Amino acid sequence: MSKIEAVTVPKWGMTMTEGTIVTWLVQEGDVISKGDEIVEIETSKLTNVVESTAAGTLRRIVLAEGVTAPVGALAAVVADPAATEEELEAFIASYASRAGAGGEDADVPTARKVEVDGAAVNFLSLGADEGPVAILLHGFGGDLGTWMFNQDDLAAELRTVAIDLPGHGGSAPTRNTDAFAGAVAAVLGVIETLGTDRVHLVGHSFGGGVAAAVARALGDRAATVSLIAPIGLGPQMAGDFLTDFIAADRRRPLQKVLERLVADPGKITAEMVEGTLSFKRLEEVPEALTQIAAAIADGNRQRRDIRGDLAALRCPVQLIWGAQDQILPVPSEVLGSARLITLEGAGHMPQMEASGSVNRELLTLIRSAG
Amino acid sequence: MAQKSYRQAINEALHAEMARDPNVILMGEDLTGGAGGSGVQDAWGGPFGVTRGLLGAYGPERVRDTPISEAAFIGAAAGAALTGLRPVAEIMFIDFLGVCFDQIMNQAAKFRYMFGGRARTPLVIRATYGAGTRAGSQHTQALHPILTHIPGLKVVMPSTPYDAKGLLIQAIRDDDPVMFLEHKMLYDMVGEVPDRSYTIPFAEARVVRDGKDVLLIGLGRMAHIAEAAAEELARNGISACVIDPRTTSPLDVETLVEFAEKIGRVVIVDEANPRCSVAADISAILCEQCFDALKGPIRMVTAPHTPVPYAPNLEDAYIPSAARVVEAAQSLLRTR
C-alpha cells in the first residue's frame, strides 16, 4: 500500500480549539517536502503558516479556504502518486471517524500560580515533569500566550515553563518599585519552585532583558540563553511604541500599534486586537504597564544595558532577530561569542511570524548544551 | 479566566461599583422582594436573579424596593442623580417605558441641555427586552430604536457576559443618563469574565469575527444569530464578518463604515420592528457615507412590523433566525 499522510489543523497554544484556513500556499498536484510552508491558518491571535511534516504530492485539499475546523481535523492529504483514488477516499473516511472519536482535548493543560514576594505569578508548564527546563519570558504588554506557536514544539523534548511577567496575563503587578527588578525576582521565584539545576532561558524583548539578568543570577545553573529581539543591546528603540500601546484604548488605534510588531500587518487578527484590549482595560493594568515602560525607555533611548549581564555568562548565548523589526533595530555588532541569527520576513515577533525557524534555532542550541 | 453567566456578570458589576462608590444606589420593583412585609427578603435576587446578595451587602438604604409606579421611581432616580447620587434604576420590562417616558425623555435626557451644561445626570436605567420567553406582546418588545432616537440618552445593548460587566461599569461611571438593555434570553449565557473591574468605552463596536465576503451587523442578542449565520456561511465557502455595535447611541459609525467599505455587502440583523429602527438608521448612514463601495442593496433582517405574538410558533417565527440571515447574505452574493 502506498504511503498516505495527513495534514491536520495544528494546536498552537492551550486555548486554541479551532483554526480557519486563510490561504493554501500549494495546490493539489504540487510536490512538497518536509518543512515546506503549505497553508496559512488563522487562530485567535495571529495568522500562522503550517509547515509540512510530510513529503510527497499534495493529492487532496479537504478544507477549503475560509473554512473553520477543530484542532486535529484533516486539512489535506499528502501521498505518493502511486496511491489510488480509492485509497485516498478510504484514508479520508477513516480519518473522519478517528478525529470524531478522539476527545483529544480531555487533558487541557492549565496554568498555575505561585506567590513570590506576596504577589501571584502565573505560569504554564508543558512537557516533561522534571529535568532541565526551558523558561519562556514574553515581552512588554504580552503574556505567556506569546509562545503559542513555540511551547508545544519545545515541550516535545523537554520541560517548559512559560511565565506571565508581573502585571501581565494572570500575574499580579510587582510590589517592587523597580519594575525590572520585580520581574527578575518573580522569574527566579518560579524557578526555585521547580527544583532543577539546568535552566534554558528564552526571552523576548523586555523578557529578553529579564532572561539575561536571571541567567546571570543563576550562575552555573544557566545552561543556554536565547534572546529574541531583546532590549538593552543598543541605545535606541522606538519608544513611542510603548506610550502608544498604553494610550490606545480602542480597536482602531490599537490595531495600528500592533501592526508595528510584525513584518506583515495582515497577520494581526481582529481577535488579537480584542484580546489585547481586554487585558489593557483591566483596572491596575495601565498603571503597571506605565511603570514597566518607564523601566524600558526614556523617549527613544533605552534605559537598560544588558551587555554586562551577557559578558558575565559562561553558557552559550544566541540572539534571534526579525530583519524587519520596527521596535528594536537589529544590532550592528555582535557581542563576544554570542551568535546572531537574523530572520527575513519577520518583525519584532519572530517567535510568531517565523515560528518554525525560531523553534529550530531554540532546539538546536538546547540540544547542543545537553 | 473565570466562566460566568451574563446574569452574574451584571451582578458583579453592581457589587463592584457599590463597593467602590457609596453614591451608587439601586431602585426598582421587587429588587429584593418582600419589602414592607414580614416575609423573607432577597429570596430570588430580584425578578431575574440579577440583584442577589446586594441587599445583604449594602442594606435597604442603598438597595431600595419601590412601589409599582415607574413614573414615581424613575422620576425619583433622575432627581437623585441630579443632586449627587449615582442611581441604577430597574424597569422590569422595557415595555413599561410607556408609563414613565416623560421622566426619561423630557426630564433626565434634557437636564444637561436645559440647564446650560451645568447639570449632570449620572443615571443608569436597566431594563430587560426581547422575545423568546412566551411572555406576550407587552413583555417582549425590543424598544431600543425609540430610546436611540432621543438626544441626551445613551443606549447600551451588551451581547456577552464580558461586555455586560464592562459596559455596566462604564454606564455607572458615566455622567449622563444611560439606558442599559439586557436581553432576557441571554441571562444564562456563560462566557469568560475577569474577576477584576474593567470598562468598555461607548461607541466601540466589537469585531466578533473577521471576514471578507459579507458584513453582518448584529444588535444585542442578534450578534449571536449573526455569528451562527456566519458559521453556516463558512460551511458553504462564504467568509462573513460579524460586528456587534455594542451601543446604539453613541454609535461607532467609524467602524461600521470602515468594514462596509472594505467588504461592500451588508446585512443588518435587528430584533426590533423594522420601521424607524436602528437597522434602518445604520442602513441610511452607510448608504450616505459609503454608497460607492456597496456592491448591492443593504439588507435588513428584522422582526415583521407586528406586535410580538403570544403563540409559541409565531413568536419563534417573529425573531430573526440564522437561516434568514444566511438567505439574505446569499442573495447579496448572487447579485454580482
How many beta-carbon pairs below 8 A join chains A and B?
47
Residue A198 domain-assigned (yes or no): yes
Question: Which domains does chain B possess?
Answer: 3-192 (3.40.50.970), 206-333 (3.40.50.920)
Residue A152 domain-assigned (yes or no): yes
Contacts of residues A88-93 at CB distance under 8 Å and 24 or more positions apart, as own/partner, are A88/A4, A88/A59, A88/A60, A91/A4, A91/A6, A92/A60, A92/A62
Å between A357 CA and nearest CA of chain B: 28
Task: Considering only the beta carbons, identify the residue of B194, B238, B239 that sits closest to A282.
Answer: B194
CA distance B236 to B230: 10
Cα angle B154, B157, B163 (rounded to 5 degrees) comes to 110
Which chain B positions have a beta carbon within 8 Å of A65's beta carbon? 237
Chain B (139-198) residues lying within 8 Å, Cβ to Cβ, of chain A:
162, 166, 194, 196-198
Q: Which three cell numbers stand for residue A255?
A: 490595531
CA distance A108 to A298: 41
Q: What is the pLDDT of residue A19?
A: 83
pTM above 0.90, yes or no: no
Which chain B positions have a beta carbon within 8 Å of A67's beta carbon? 234-235, 237
Last residue of one domain, picked from the residues A100, A131, A149: A100
Q: How confident is the model at residue A101 (pLDDT cuts 50, 70, 90)?
A: very low
Active-site choice (B139, B144, B183, B224):
B139
Which CATH number characterizes residue A90's domain?
Answer: 2.40.50.100
**What single string gives the DSSP state of each residue in B122-161?**
--EEEEEE-S-SS--TTS----HHHHHTSTT-EEE---SH
* B336: pLDDT strictly greater than 60: no
Strand partners, A42: A20, A47
Side chain identity at residue A143, one-letter code: D
Side chain identity at residue A15, one-letter code: T
B209 shares contact with chain A (CB less than 8 Å): yes
Same domain, A128 and A79: no
Same domain, A117 and A265: yes
Same domain, A183 and A318: yes
Task: Give the sign of the dihedral formed by CA B276, CA B279, CA B285, CA B288.
Answer: negative
Same domain, A94 and A57: yes
Q: How many helices (H) and strands (E) does chain A have?
A: 11, 18
**Average pLDDT value for residue range A170-179:** 90
B58 shares contact with chain A (CB less than 8 Å): no
**Average pLDDT value for residue range B107-111:** 98
CB atoms within 10 A of CB B49: 14
Cβ-defined contact of B166 to A251 (cutoff 8 Å): no
Q: How confident is the model at residue A299 (pLDDT cuts 50, 70, 90)?
A: very high
Which chain A positions have a beta carbon within 8 Å of B239's beta carbon? 66
Find out whether B85 and B25 touch, Cβ atoms under 8 Å.
yes
Q: How confident is the model at residue B299 (pLDDT cuts 50, 70, 90)?
A: very high
Helix (H) or strand (E) holding B270: strand B266-270
Find out whether A122 and A164 touch, Cβ atoms under 8 Å.
yes
Q: How are strands ordered across the β-sheet holding A112-116?
A: A112-116, A119-126, A159-163, A133-137, A199-204, A222-228, A317-322, A339-343
For the question of residue B139 being annotated catalytic, the response is yes
Strands annotated E in chain A: 4-8, 18-24, 31-32, 37-42, 47-51, 56-61, 68-70, 74-79, 112-116, 119-126, 133-137, 159-163, 199-204, 222-228, 297-298, 301-302, 317-322, 339-343
Last residue of one domain, picked from the residues A57, A78, A100: A100
Same domain, A116 and A73: no
Cβ-defined contact of B209 to A67 (cutoff 8 Å): no
Find out whether A267 and A47 touch, Cβ atoms under 8 Å.
yes
Angle between helices A240-247 and A285-296 (to 10 degrees): 180
* A104: pLDDT strictly greater than 90: no
* A107: pLDDT strictly greater than 60: no
**Average pLDDT value for residue range B279-292:** 98
Q: What is the pLDDT of residue A97?
A: 54
Same domain, A301 and A165: yes
Å between A195 CA and nearest CA of chain B: 28
CA distance B27 to A274: 34
Same domain, A87 and A120: no
Helix (H) or strand (E) holding A190: helix A179-194
Q: Which three cell numbers stand for residue A252?
A: 482602531
In order of A25, B1, B161, the CA distances from B15 in angstroms are: 52, 19, 15
Question: Which string of b and e fits A73-99 if b means at least 16 CB within 10 Å?
Answer: bbbbbbbeeebeeebbeebeeebeeeb
Which chain B positions have a beta carbon within 8 Å of A42's beta carbon? 210
Question: Which string of b and e fits A309-323 if b means at least 16 CB within 10 Å?
Answer: bbeebebbbbbbbbe
In order of A34, B81, B86, B123, B154, the CA distances from B174 in angstroms are: 57, 11, 9, 8, 10
Q: In chain A, how long is the greatest CA-to-CA distance?
A: 68
Same domain, A249 and A293: yes
Domain interval for residue A73: 4-100
Q: How confident is the model at residue A49 (pLDDT cuts 50, 70, 90)?
A: confident
**Average pLDDT value for residue range A3-16:** 79
Higher-pLDDT residue of B299, A57: B299
Q: How confident is the model at residue A1 (pLDDT cuts 50, 70, 90)?
A: low
Same domain, A181 and A240: yes
What mean pLDDT is reported for chain B? 95
A163 shares contact with chain B (CB less than 8 Å): no
Same domain, A189 and A307: yes
Which chain A positions have a beta carbon within 8 Å of B255's beta carbon? 251-252
* A83: pLDDT strictly greater than 80: yes
* A105: pLDDT strictly greater than 70: no
DSSP state for residue B187 in the 8-state scheme: T
Same domain, A233 and A294: yes
Tell the residue number behind the cell numbers 511551547, with chain if given.
A151
A314 shares contact with chain B (CB less than 8 Å): no
CA distance B222 to B229: 10
User: How many folded domains does chain A comprise?
Assistant: 2
Nearest residue of A to residue B192, measured between CA atoms:
A278
Pick from A228, A230, A193, A188: nearest CA to A209: A230
Task: Considering only the beta carbons, identify the residue of A67, A249, A284 that sits closest to B201.
Answer: A249
Cβ-defined contact of A278 to B231 (cutoff 8 Å): no
Residue A106 domain-assigned (yes or no): no
Query: Which stretches of chain B are DSSP H helices?
Result: 6-20, 54-62, 70-82, 101, 111-114, 144-148, 161-173, 222-235, 253-263, 278-290, 312-318, 322-335
A250 shares contact with chain B (CB less than 8 Å): yes
Which chain B positions have a beta carbon within 8 Å of A15's beta carbon? none
Distance of CA A118 to the CA centre of its chain: 28
Å between A64 CA and nearest CA of chain B: 7
Cβ-defined contact of A282 to B196 (cutoff 8 Å): yes
Residue A91 domain-assigned (yes or no): yes
* A326: pLDDT strictly greater than 70: yes
Contacts with A176 (C-beta within 8 Å, 6 or more apart), sequence order: A117, A182, A185
Strand partners, B301: B269
Find out whether A19 and A43 touch, Cβ atoms under 8 Å.
yes
Chain A (49-108) residues lying within 8 Å, Cβ to Cβ, of chain B:
64-68
Å between A363 CA and nearest CA of chain B: 31
Q: Which three cell numbers stand for residue A141?
A: 504588554
**Average pLDDT value for residue range A216-229:** 97
Which chain B positions have a beta carbon within 8 Å of A273's beta carbon? 207
**Average pLDDT value for residue range A156-181:** 93
Nearest residue of B to residue A110, measured between CA atoms:
B1
Last residue of one domain, picked from the residues A60, A75, A100: A100
Q: How confident is the model at residue B119 (pLDDT cuts 50, 70, 90)?
A: very high
Nearest residue of B to residue A277, measured between CA atoms:
B200
CB atoms within 10 A of CB A33: 10
Same domain, A45 and A169: no
